[in-house]
Amino acid sequence: MEQPKIEFRQVRDFGEIINDTFVFIKQNYKPLLKSVFIISSLFILASIIFSSINLYYMQKTVSLYEGQYNSAVLSRSIQGNILVGLFSFATFYVISLSTYAYINIYVEKKRETPTLEEVWSYSKYYALRFLWANFLAVIFLIAGLVMCVLPFFYLWPILSIALSAIVLENGDISYSFSRGFKLIKENWWMSFGTLIILTIVYYACAMAIILPVTIAGSGATLFLPDFNLPFYVLVIKSVLTSLAQFLILIPIIGVSLLFFSLVEKKESEGLLERINSVGLENKQIKSKDEEY
C-alpha cells in the first residue's frame, strides 16, 4: 500500500518531525534532487574546481621548517581557504533556498510535485531577501558565540525558523525574524532538540561520504615518495565533499516541518483549511444532487 503524501500543515512531535523528514525525501527525492542540483550546479562546479586547486597548491607548496609554516605560503593558503569557504557558503545557500522553494510550492499545490521551472522561479524571487537574512543570521550567531556561547544556542532555533519564514510565508526580513521569536516561544526546547538531532544526522551522513576517502588518502601518502596525493584523488575528494553538501536538505526539510508544526500549534491554519475544503466538497456534492 502506497504511503500517503506528507502533509506539512499539521502538528508534529519531536519523533514525527524526524521520521517525516525521511518520508518526504523518500517520496520526493527524484524531482527534489533534480531541481536542487540543476539550480545549484554552477556553484557546485566552482566549489569543486577551487577546492581541488587549493588542495593541490597546499600539497605542493606548503613547506615545514622547524614546525613553522612559511609565511608567504601560509598567507596564500589562507586566501585559498577563504575563497573555497565563500563558494561552499554559496552552495549551501542555493541548496537551502531551492529546497525551501520546492517545499513552498509543494504546500501551495496541495502536495503536488513542483516542476523545475516553478522551483527556479520561486528561488529567483526570494534570492536577495533570503541572502540578506542569512547574512544577518550569521552576524547574530557570531555575536552569540562571542557572548559566552549561550546566546548562540538560544538564537539558533529562532533564526532557523526565521529563515524558513522568508520563503515559506513570503515574509520580509523584519516580519520573519519577529515570527521566529513568536513561534519559538514556549516551544524552544522541542525546537532545539529537533535541530540537534537533524544536525547530528546531517554530519553523520556527510562523514560517511567524506571520511573513507580522507582516511584512504591519508594512508596512501605514507607510501608516496613526496607524500603528495595525485591530483585526481584530490578532485575525487572535492567532488565527494561537494556532493555531501546536498545532505543539508535533510535539516532544511526538518526545519520546514518544524515551522509548519509550530504554526499549526499556534494558529491551526491547516486544520481550518481542511475544514473549509470538506465544507466546499459537501456543497459541491449537494449541488450535484440538486441538479440531478
DSSP for the chain, please give it.
-PPPPPPSSS---HHHHHHHHHHHHHHHHHHHHHHHHHHHHHHHHHHHHHHHHHHHHHHHH--EETTEE-HHHHHHHHHHHHHHHHHHHHHHHHHHHHHHHHHHHHHHTTSPPPPHHHHHHHHHHHHHHHHHHHHHHHHHHHHHHHTTSHHHHHHHHHHHHHHHHHHHS---HHHHHHHHHHHHTT-HHHHHHHHHHHHHHHHHHHHHHHHHHHHHHHHHHTTSTTS---HHHHHHHHHHHHHHGGGGHHHHHHHHHHHHHHHHHHH-HHHHHHHHHHHHHHHHHHHHHHH-
Residue 252 domain flag: yes
**What is the pLDDT at residue 17?**
95
Of 5-19, 84-98, 211-225, 276-290, minimum mean pLDDT range = 276-290
Q: Round to whole Å and give the CA distance between 133 and 173.
A: 6
Residue 71 domain flag: yes
pLDDT at 25 over 60: yes
**What is the pLDDT at residue 178?**
94
Residue 89 domain flag: yes
**What is the pLDDT at residue 2?**
65
pLDDT at 226 over 70: no
Report whether 255 contacts 196 (CB < 8 A). no
β-strand pairing of 68-69 with 64-65: antiparallel
Q: Which residues pair with 69 in a beta bridge?
A: 64
Per the structure, the complete domain to which residue 54 belongs is given by: 14-132+190-265
Residue 90 domain flag: yes
Report whether 164 contacts 256 (CB < 8 A). yes
Residue 290 domain flag: no
Q: Taking residues 167-183, what's their average pLDDT?
A: 94
Report whether 155 contacts 144 (CB < 8 A). yes
Q: Round to whole Å and give the CA distance between 173 and 26.
A: 32
Residue 160 domain flag: no
Residue 199 domain flag: yes
Residue 142 domain flag: no
Q: With cut-offs at 50, 70 and 90, classify the pLDDT of residue 291.
A: very low
103-158 tens-digit pLDDT: 999 999 999 999 999 999 999 999 999 999 999 999 999 998 888 788 899 999 99
- Number of domains forming the structure of the chain: 1
**What is the pLDDT at residue 65?**
45
